[in-house]
Structure 1
């Protein structure tokens, strides 16, 4: 029953996330937002919705560790699992924006999150507001730079959604919202029961099972693209996802319901794994072959992720 709840929760989160992205992009076109702004903001927010709903549901249910571990685990999985597996299939190119903008922001936010948590073991409302403010500043400079340099926008913004009727758009919003709500409800409940039955903490389940589940859509899309020899994924997109996970998911959750850490392991061990995976991208980008992450580097990243999962249960 517990596994069934988790699987149903994952399915509804994937379904809800997909419909919410479509509806959000369609609504953005109706509000006359440019494709660039939609790609840099709306799509990023919408694709973070599953993590947000799971974290918020967990925090409101009194499972703060599940809320925090979901984000920490998702950020680790985005690099260790998604990036590792995809790089083993198809070499990823690294652009210079990685060094100048995305990577420093991701590492900076990770360090700020750590500082907030070790002060008193709580991510409170003011700290949540600060994370959201930092995200707003990051997006402001991102959009301004994109306009100035006329950067190309990813194909994930589907221009055919400009033609969607209002009825269909509102229907997608309704389906997405309902699916995300019940998906997060089922997933959090199932995860808590599995943790109880296995005799491990909720944090461990959040770091592994729940985190991988919320990263599955990205992993599946990346593998399919890599197998088709298309551009597998942008390293910037993965890092952007990690930035949104910390700043928007934890920021919004903390503003609504402050997150108190019960399992000290999260701030004594696991957050250092998250920082470690973030920091290791820099030497990997600079080592031969420079500005590329190929099969060998992908294998190293994936093996490290497997080690993290084993250590989490031990």
Structure 2
């Protein structure tokens, strides 16, 4: 168990570090190519910060652990709202942009609903379904570019200066290798840990692995709040969840179709994912509209705690 736990820890460290290096390289390349900031924010930055989830899910699916691949995405979505957003709100209140109820939340529910529909009847995600998911993401990005530019402008590129070319290449290479190595360590360690503890791949994926791959979002949110930078919002985390469902799962299934082994993933975990996503709506509007504070954070943390309790019992 000690060796497996060590593999998981090393894997998580490499994934976080690799994602950060890849982000630096990706943004630098985008600035060199004069890609508009809005495009960088919605595509390059989103893909780079979702790289840990993507690499782990692909690795798990290709290695024959579908529940680990799905559990990672579903668990990350639950953790993003139930844990990351909760901790962020305990540090300070967050203003919610009006795009929340026009774009962000409705699209999250659509993406979640499409995923649920595809997997409900046959417990499988097929390649043609992944193409629909990726197509939906493409249409969503087009809509944002066309109609919601102010709602999706990211501040991230402002903090970057163009690096020397050798540094960009170094970050790109080291980041890619770190992500690959981290996924190998994490998947192997997680599978071994599941065997050591006598639990399913699904439980390890939905808890340890998913929280681990959500560390970049948690770190970014906490740092932003501590620096009094209120750019972080519920919309950012909802956007990450949309990307996880449509891009991470879409790309993973395109490479390797996935079939659920442990049906509790569908009848328990996915339902919790849908429930927490829906819960955000009343929290945003009650008691006063378009604002979340520490009380909402406590509610989300309590809900996440109940989710963990029911998962292990």
Name the TM-score class by shorter chain: over 0.9
Residue in 1 aligned with 2:157?
A: 157
Match of 2:121 among 119, 126, 137: 119
Which runs of 5 or more structure 2 residues have no equivalent in the other structure? none
1:124-273 map, 5 Å: 124-147=126-149, 150=150, 153-158=153-158, 160-161=160-161, 163-231=162-230, 233-273=232-272
Q: Superposition RMSD on alpha carbons, in Å?
A: 1.3
Distance 1:168 1:222, change over 3 A: same
Deviates more, 1:229-238 or 1:172-181: 229-238
Measure, in 2, the Cα distance between the counterparts of 1:212 and 1:232: 23
1:46-65 map, 5 Å: 46-65=48-67
Is the Cα contact below 8 Å between 2:83 and 2:301 reproduced in 1?
yes
Is the Cα contact below 8 Å between 1:191 and 1:205 reproduced in 2?
yes
Is the Cα contact below 8 Å between 2:28 and 2:163 reproduced in 1?
yes
- SS across alignment from 2:230: coil
TM-score of the superposition, structure 1-length normalised? 0.96
Is the Cα contact below 8 Å between 2:72 and 2:205 reproduced in 1?
yes
Measure, in 2, the Cα distance between the counterparts of 1:212 and 1:137: 29
The reply to whether residue 107 of structure 1 matches residue 109 of structure 2 is: yes
Measure, in 1, the Cα distance between the counterparts of 2:25 and 2:229: 26
- Deviation track 1:197-248 (CA, whole Å, cap 9, x = no partner) reads 1111000011010011011122122223323333262211100000000000
Is the Cα contact below 8 Å between 1:93 and 1:293 reproduced in 2?
yes
TM-score of the superposition, structure 2-length normalised? 0.96
- Deviation track 1:138-170 (CA, whole Å, cap 9, x = no partner) reads 0011111245xx557232224533x22222111
The reply to whether residue 82 of structure 1 matches residue 81 of structure 2 is: no
Q: 1:105 offset after TM fit, Å?
A: 0.5
Matched residues, number:
311
Which runs of 5 or more structure 1 residues have no equivalent in the other structure? none
Residue in 2 aligned with 1:309?
A: 308
- SS across alignment from 2:219: helix
Residue in 2 aligned with 1:296?
A: 295
Is the Cα contact below 8 Å between 1:107 and 1:275 reproduced in 2?
yes
